[in-house]
A and B are shown apart, each in its own frame.
Chain A
Amino acid sequence: MLSRRNPQLNRHGELIHLLSIEGLPRAVLTQILDTAGTFLSVNDRDVKKVPLLRGKSVFNLFFENSTRTRTTFEIAAKRLSADVINLDIARSSTAKGESLLDTIANLSAMHADMFIVRHAESGAPYLIAQHVAPHVHVVNAGDGRHAHPTQGLLDMYTIRHYKRDFTQLTVAIVGDIVHSRVARSDIHALATLGVPEIRAVGPKTLVPGDLAAMGVRVCHDMREGIRDADVIIMLRLQNERMSGALLPSAGEFFKSFGLTPEKLALARPDAIVMHPGPINRGVEIDSAVADGSHSVILPQVTFGIAVRMAVMSTIAGNQA
């Protein structure tokens, strides 16, 4: 069957939407990371603004609640001088209420230039990208379990900042991988950037064997999973995992897969510990680790603004 062109690239291979890291060439990723580097200094200035998106309307369209991610996108857009409109649309049932595409059509009629979309269903931003006018850009701010590409990019920025070279690294991603869009985006980004060993660590209910097809080593033992790792990415464990018979309790999860100083000692002495936030202290990560010298969790947040500025300015500069 015919495979359609990657909908986030134009005919020249330039990024017009950011929907997933999967399928993006290394050069595109590297260019965004380089651009983010130039924006970091903007955030340190007295006047934290550049005029790249002046006069553009950026709609934060969040079908799923997230104050943090929405705020970082809002700050990034404002620092690019865009007008930002925030819309928290409680996910309405499709039977009643406005359909997703009707919502998009209405907002398009208000001359939106860019949609930042978060949705509980995997693939929803693809549907939107297929139905917007050619000059409108779409950024996926998290869709179901599928992708969270700006988080993936900011994680890459963080790793590059501390480790410089991707091609010698061992990266362990620990926790609820099956439900994690962050993990998927990280895995694609790490593989594209040449990381030779990516490990997915967790119990079999949260780390299915199918993940091996994405190019990762599946580990069901935490100690084996983080041994000699250069980078450890801890994932947030959602409470609802206990009700779905995936785990018996947060306490038992922490015992086996929580990151404690003792377990961290198995990783490389200069290992960094990352987390997309918000963290659950004592569930996936011990406070001593979260606040310790290996933790780069707060720098991730700072880099996140610059990376999102880089993504928005990059796609806004490319035509469909």
Chain B
Amino acid sequence: MKILIRQGRVIDPASGRDEAADVAIASGRIVAIGRAPDFDAERVIDARGLVVMPGLVDLAARLREPGQEHEGMLESELAAAAAGGVTSLVCPPDTDPVLDEPGLVEMLKFRARKLSRCRLFPLGALTRGLQGTTLTEMAELTEAGCVGFSQAEVPVRDTQVLLRALQYAATYGYTVWLRPQDAWLGGGVAASGAVATRLGLSGVPVQAETVALATLFELVRATRARVHLCRLSSAAGVAMLRAAKAEGLPVSADVSVNSLHLTDVDIGFFNPDMRLVPPLRQGADRDALRRALADGTIDALVSDHDPVADDMKQLPFGEAEPGATGLELLLSLALRWGADSALPLPATLARVTLHPVQVLGEAIGSLASSAGRLVEGGVADVCVFDPAAEWSVAPERLLSQGKHTPFSFASTGMALPGRVRATLVAGTIAYEAPADAAS
């Protein structure tokens, strides 16, 4: 289908383009940016007053399929991604069964392709069953479509296994995605600090993150394996990452929208929607994370999308399942952070487009040169949004099967900026806001 997105404010963080222009799309590719007078479009999207940007790339979204379909399914969660302007996402391997077999990965990729709502990039398990003992067949899994290897939420306790996993991955140049969390120190349900102490919640000390980072950086120094650090949560962790990058270690990192906007104080009266992993830390941590994302120490902003069923949230705080839905909120929460940080819009959008694609690098093959960008000849993964629109998050209206978010209007009393109007994946319309979406 030939589509013309007419006269939007076209922003491409990669090239610095920020101007009113038409975007002409045919056969899944962007054929022209600028004036396209002779383009015979079958469909015209009027983008006056709207921003036209590369589709968002989310490095952390759980889809819950296979195995946890009561909490989320590809169909619902990829529809949520499209509604959030997300055109590519990376999912961790902690499904049931775990993504440690090429056949499972192929099936997942095939199912996602059939839905054609969003590109899906699975992470394979670093160890079989995430058990931290035996390596997976990383080369086979890569052929099946894995873009890296991860332990999801299960830290490798045995440092000998961790060292060898990094050595083996480095052999092929694969990236290992790890959330820095010490297995023993990380057992609590809220960040250690005054709030957890006052509420009588078991704490996760900041050393759960820094001890794990210290170990990892030592092993990266030895192996030169490329490591992506998932969802940093602390000021101390940011400082260690900054030093590691200055030293030239091959590491990158992301932060979740939750840690970027919330602190442990938001737990309030034991609100289970604030039960998150990593746990919400203190104001100084949040501020350091915000600065680190602005100055590039942290590469990407992620939704940390994790749909959780009602039953698993309607529990006392410590028993509630951690996680929050996030795909549909990622753009708005990026915009809110960018506005708070007084960043130009293209710089804000780079954290959810260009920079995450750079983290993925060659693992996504030829897409590496055009995903997360708007370039003539590149893939037409596009998000069109209204920067002036505000919306109040009503969880029951989200497309995700997960209806729990800390950012619901009921919790925050605040509206969020920016509303997605249309999402295109490979030149086809994956989402279009309903006509009454002005609210």
Interface string of B88-119 (1 = CB under 8 A from A): 00000000000000000000000000000000
Which residues of chain A in 202-252 are interfacial with respect to chain B, using CB atoms and an 8 Å cutoff? 208, 210-211, 213-214
Chain B: which residue is nearest A208 at the CB level? Answer: B197
Query: Could you tell me if B197 and A211 are in contact, using CB atoms closer than 8 angstroms?
Result: yes
Interface presence of A181 (CB below 8 A):
yes
Interface string of A1-45 (1 = CB under 8 A from B): 111101100000000000000100000000000000000000000
Interface presence of A100 (CB below 8 A):
yes
Query: Could you tell me if B314 and A144 are in contact, using CB atoms closer than 8 angstroms?
Result: no
In this complex, the interface size class of chain B, counting residues with CB under 8 Å from chain A, is 20 to 34
Interface presence of B434 (CB below 8 A):
no
Asked whether A121 and B268 contact (CB < 8 A) given A2-B412, A99-B311, the answer is no
Interface string of B167-200 (1 = CB under 8 A from A): 0000000000000000000000000111011111
Asked whether A123 and B199 contact (CB < 8 A) given A1-B262, A210-B192, the answer is yes
Which of B194, B265, B315, B411 is in CB contact (< 8 Å) with A94?
Answer: B315
Distance of A55 Cα from B266 Cα, bound (Å)? 40
Query: Could you tell me if A181 and B200 are in contact, using CB atoms closer than 8 angstroms?
Result: yes
Query: Could you tell me if B200 and A122 are in contact, using CB atoms closer than 8 angstroms?
Result: yes
Asked whether A2 and B413 contact (CB < 8 A) given A99-B314, A122-B270, A127-B314, the answer is yes
Interface of A is mostly: loop
Which residues of chain B in 411-425 are interfacial with respect to chain A, using CB atoms and an 8 Å cutoff? 411-414
CB distance from A135 to the nearest CB of B (A): 21
Interface presence of A145 (CB below 8 A):
yes
Query: Could you tell me if B314 and A101 are in contact, using CB atoms closer than 8 angstroms?
Result: yes
Number of A-B contacts (CB under 8 A): 87
User: What count of chain A residues pass the 8 Å CB interface test?
Assistant: 31
Chain A: which residue is nearest B269 at the CB level? Answer: A126
Interface presence of B201 (CB below 8 A):
yes
Query: Could you tell me if B269 and A145 are in contact, using CB atoms closer than 8 angstroms?
Result: no
Query: Could you tell me if A4 and B268 are in contact, using CB atoms closer than 8 angstroms?
Result: yes
Q: From B53-61, B287-295, B316-324, give the one contacting chain A.
A: B316-324
Chain A: which residue is nearest B314 at the CB level? Answer: A101
Distance of A208 Cα from B198 Cα, bound (Å)? 11
Query: Could you tell me if B200 and A184 are in contact, using CB atoms closer than 8 angstroms?
Result: yes
| Pairs across A and B, CB under 8 Å, 21 listed | A1-B266, A1-B268, A1-B412, A2-B414, A3-B268, A4-B268, A6-B269, A94-B319, A99-B314, A101-B314, A122-B316, A123-B199, A123-B316, A126-B269, A127-B270, A127-B314, A144-B316, A210-B194, A210-B196, A211-B197, A214-B197
Task: Beyond the given A100-B316, A122-B199, please list 15 additional residue pairs across the A-B interface where CB-CB is below 8 A.
Answer: A1-B266, A1-B412, A2-B411, A2-B414, A4-B268, A94-B315, A94-B319, A121-B315, A121-B319, A123-B201, A127-B316, A144-B318, A210-B193, A213-B197, A214-B197
Binding site for A on B (CB under 8 A): 192-194, 196-202, 262, 265-266, 268-270, 272, 311-312, 314-319, 411-414
Binding site for B on A (CB under 8 A): 1-4, 6-7, 22, 94, 99-101, 119, 121-124, 126-127, 143-147, 178, 181, 184, 208, 210-211, 213-214
